[in-house]
A = this chain, B = another copy of it.
Amino acid sequence: MRYDLGKGASENWLIGEDSFAAHHQGKAEALLCQGNGYLGQRAALEEAYAGQTRDLLVAGTFDRFQDEVTELPNLPDLTNLELFLDGERFSMLPDRTRGYLRYLDLRTGALRRELLWTGAGGKRFRLVFERFVSLENEHLIGFRTEIIPLDGDGEIRAETGIDGRVTNTGASHFLEGDKRVLDQRTMRMVSQTAQDHVSCCLHAGLKVLIDGEEQAVSWLPLIERRYLALRSSCTVPREKRWTLEKLCAVTTGRDRECRGAEDPAAAAAENGRILLQAALRDGYNALFSPSASAWEKVWARQDILIRSDRAQDQLMVRFALYHLNIMAHKGDSRVGVSAKGLTGEGYKCHSFWDTETYLLPYYALTQPETARSLLEYRYLGLSGARKKAKENGYEGAMYPWETALPEDGEVTPLWGQADVVTGKALPILTGLIEQHITADIALAVHFYKTVTGDEAFMDRCGDEILLDTALFWASRVTRDLEKQAWVILDVIGPDEYKEHVNNNAYTNYLACENMRLALETMEALRKAGGETYRRLDKQFCFDRLAPRLRDVIQKIFLPGPDEDGIVPQFDGYRSLRAIDLTPYKQAGEIRTIYHHYNLAQMSGLQVHKQADTLALMVQLPDLFSGEVIKKCFEYYEARTLHDSSLSKSTHCVLAARLGETEQARRFFEGCGDIDMGPNMHTSDAGIHAASMGGIWQCAVYGFGGVAVQADGLHIRPRLPGTWHLLSFPLVWQGQPLQITISGADIHVSHQGDRPVGLNIAGQNVLLQPGDVYRASSVCGA
A169 touches B224 (CB 8 A): yes
Does A538 touch B at the CB level, under 8 Å?
A: no
- The stretch that binds B, out of A127-135, A418-426, A642-650, is A418-426
Q: Which of A219-240 contact B (CB under 8 A)?
A: 220-228
Residues of B within 8 A of A228 (CB): 418
* Contact present for A176 and B68 (CB under 8 Å): yes
Residues of B within 8 A of A422 (CB): 181
Looking at the complex, which one of B65, B180, B194, B227 makes contact with A423 (CB distance below 8 Å)?
Answer: B180
A348 to chain B, nearest CB (A): 9
Contacts of A424 in B (CB 8 A): 180-181, 223
Q: Could you say which of B50, B94, B179, B181 contacts A50, with CB atoms under 8 Å apart?
A: B50
| A384 / chain B contacts, CB cutoff of 8 Å | none
Q: Mark A178-205, 1 if CB is under 8 A from B, else 0.
A: 0111111000000000100000000000
A226 pairs with B169, CB closer than 8 A? yes
A532 within 8 A of B: no
Q: A679-691 toward B: CB 8 Å interface, digit per residue (1/0)?
A: 0000000000000
**Cβ contacts under 8 Å, A419 to chain B:** 221
A167 at the interface (CB under 8 A from B): yes
**Per-position 1/0 for A48-59, Cβ under 8 A of B:** 111110000000
- Closest chain B CB from A540 CB (angstroms): 41
A interface bracket (residues with beta carbon within 8 Å of B): 35 or more
- Cα(A68)–Cα(B169), bound, Å: 21
**Minimum C-beta distance from A79 to chain B (A):** 13
Q: Are B417 and A222 in contact (CB under 8 A)?
A: yes
A175 cross-chain contacts in B, Cβ below 8 A: 66-67
Tell which of A48, A224, A225, A417 has the most Cβ of chain B within 10 Å. Answer: A225
Interface hits, A141-172 → B, CB 8 Å: 164-167, 169-172
* Most chain B CB within a 10 A radius of its CB, from A93, A170, A184, A420: A170
Q: Please give, as numbers and ranges, the residues of chain B lying within 8 Å of A23 by CB-CB distance.
A: 89, 91
- Whether A391 is near chain B, meaning CB under 8 Å from some CB there, is no
Shortest Cβ distance from A781 into chain B, in angstroms? Answer: 44
Bitwise interface map of A from 14 to 44 toward B, beta carbon under 8 Å scored 1, else 0: 0000000011000000000000000000000
CB–CB B176/A165 < 8 A: no
A170 to B167, Cβ gap below 8 A? yes
Q: Within 8 Å of chain B (Cβ to Cβ): is A595? A: yes
**CB of A95 closer than 8 Å to a CB of B:** yes
Interface residues of A in 436-494 (CB under 8 A from B): none
Given contacts A49-B50, A170-B164, contact A223 B425 (CB under 8 A): yes
Q: Which 8 A-B pairs have the closest CB atoms?
A: A181-B423, A165-B170, A223-B418, A48-B50, A221-B418, A170-B226, A169-B225, A23-B89
- Interface CB pairs A-B, < 8 A, 24: A22-B91, A23-B89, A48-B50, A66-B175, A67-B175, A67-B176, A93-B93, A93-B94, A95-B95, A165-B170, A167-B172, A169-B226, A169-B227, A170-B172, A170-B226, A171-B172, A180-B424, A181-B418, A182-B423, A183-B423, A220-B595, A221-B419, A221-B423, A224-B417
Q: Known A-B contacts: A171-B225, A179-B425. Give 14 more (CB < 8 A).
A: A65-B172, A67-B176, A68-B176, A165-B167, A167-B170, A167-B172, A170-B226, A180-B424, A181-B423, A184-B423, A221-B420, A221-B423, A222-B417, A222-B418
